[in-house]
Chain A
Amino acid sequence: MPDTITREEICQPENMIYCRTPLLTDAPLSYCPGCGHGTAHRLIMEVIEEMNLQADTIGVAPVGCSVLAYDFLDIDMQQAAHGRAPAVATGIKRLMPDKFVFTYQGDGDLAAIGTGETIHACNRGENITIFFVNNGIYGMTGGQMAPTTLPNMKTATSPFGRDVQTMGYPLKITELIAMLPGTYFVSRQSVHTPANVRKAKKAIEKAISYQKLNKGLSFVEIVSNCNSGWKMTPLESNKWMEENMFSFFPLGDIKVPK
């Protein structure tokens, strides 16, 4: 009887317990190394795969780093003008109420130019799901200050740190929309550790499954790193995020159905 098992014997298809979901295309992700967007994409697609919704899901891509999301997600996708993803998703959902419609937006898209669309889609209680990836910066255009940039945080357009006297306070858009009666489920998660990834996946599962109930808008914020914009290595940026972002953007469910 052999007392060891070789690598080849373990690496057999029947022993596989985790692999990249086939709902992600083979196209290499355009994101920087260590960026949370890739993990967020994967979690959404894993949930859609597990719920067997590939043929019934329509996603709306934003403008920002994730503008090319339609290249990576193997579902029906629509690209919206900057910030207008909730409005486009509203139209799609109203015309095709049987489909699962979600938007995937960054903070420059959702919390800056798209604030009006976001708040009104939430206030109307549109029966869609919004995934909001918040890294506190305009990542794609080179790390400029965003509405969600923390006080005293250095960016390309606030090189001495964000001065709240002249540049205002960071926008807690997730808390803001949680107050609106049209939202059904609002949660804030992150994807930088295995435990947080598992929690985020549960929140995404809830957000998608609540669409069946026709009770209102589900909103999941994912606090992410932007190591290129923050000028750090991926590991440093995750540590910085834990130390600085989470005190201002605390993780957890903000509004849960009663």
Chain B
Amino acid sequence: MAKVKGEIVVNTERCKGCQLCVPVCKENVIAMSENLNGKGYHFAQSVNDECNGCINCALVCPDGAITVYRVKLNESLKAAS
């Protein structure tokens, strides 16, 4: 069975720190940064590598700040070897 691995990239300047993405992530990947962005919000960031690319966070983000990537692990490793 192909294992999938995902990753999110948050557009930190677009993020308004509403935190809607935090509870919808079942893998607890997202947490709010202690730093502030240019608008003065604590932006969302990825804090571990458990992401499976389910896109839940990107679906609920009102500002469309999240881009999601996903790879099938076995295939990409095969290609790498």
| Interface size classification for chain A | 35 or more
Kindly provide the distance from the CB of B76 to the nearest chain A CB, expressed in whole angstroms. Answer: 6
Question: Is B20 a contact of A198 with CB atoms below 8 Å?
Answer: no
B33 within 8 A of A: no
Complex: chain B residue closest to A28, CB-CB: B14
Interface residues of B in 17-45 (CB under 8 A from A): 17-20, 23-24, 39, 41
Which residues of chain A in 1-30 are interfacial with respect to chain B, using CB atoms and an 8 Å cutoff? 1-3, 5, 7, 9-12, 15-21, 24, 28-29
Binds B, one of A32-40, A109-117, A245-253: A32-40
A169 within 8 Å of B by Cβ?
A: no
B20, A235: Cβ atoms closer than 8 Å: yes
Question: Of the 9-residue stretches A52-60, A99-107, A143-151, A189-197, which lies at the interface with chain B?
Answer: A189-197
Residues of B within 8 A of A198 (CB): 59
Contact residue among A1, A11, A31, A193 (Cβ-Cβ distance under 8 Å from B9)? A11
Q: Bound state CA distance, A238 and B49, in angstroms?
A: 28
Q: How far is the CB of B36 from chain A (nearest CB, A)?
A: 13
Among A2, A16, A33, the most chain B Cβ lie within 10 Å of the Cβ of A33
* Number of chain B residues close to chain A: CB under 8 A: 39
Interchain nearest-CB distance for A31 vs B (Å):
7
Known contacts A17-B70, A192-B60, A197-B60, A2 near B16 by CB under 8 Å: no
Interface flags, B1-17, vs A, CB<8A=1, else 0: 00001110101001011
Residue of B with least CB distance to A40: B62
Q: How far is the CB of A39 from chain B (nearest CB, A)?
A: 5
Given A3-B77, A19-B67, A194-B24: A33 and B17 interface contact (C-beta under 8 Å): yes
Known: A15-B71, A234-B18. A31 touches B62 (CB 8 A): yes
Residues in A whose Cβ lies below 8 Å from that of B9: 11
- CA gap between A198 and B58 in the complex, in Å: 12
Residues of A within 8 A of B (CB): 1-3, 5, 7, 9-12, 15-21, 24, 28-29, 31-39, 42, 191-194, 197-198, 233-235, 238
13 CB < 8 A contacts A-B: A2-B81, A3-B77, A16-B68, A17-B53, A17-B69, A24-B64, A29-B63, A33-B41, A38-B63, A39-B61, A194-B59, A234-B20, A238-B20
Enumerate chain B interface residues (CB-CB to A < 8 A).
5-7, 9, 11, 14, 16-20, 23-24, 39, 41, 49, 53-56, 58-71, 73, 76-77, 80-81
* A-B CB proximity, top 8 nearest: A38-B62, A34-B18, A20-B64, A33-B16, A33-B18, A1-B81, A194-B56, A18-B68
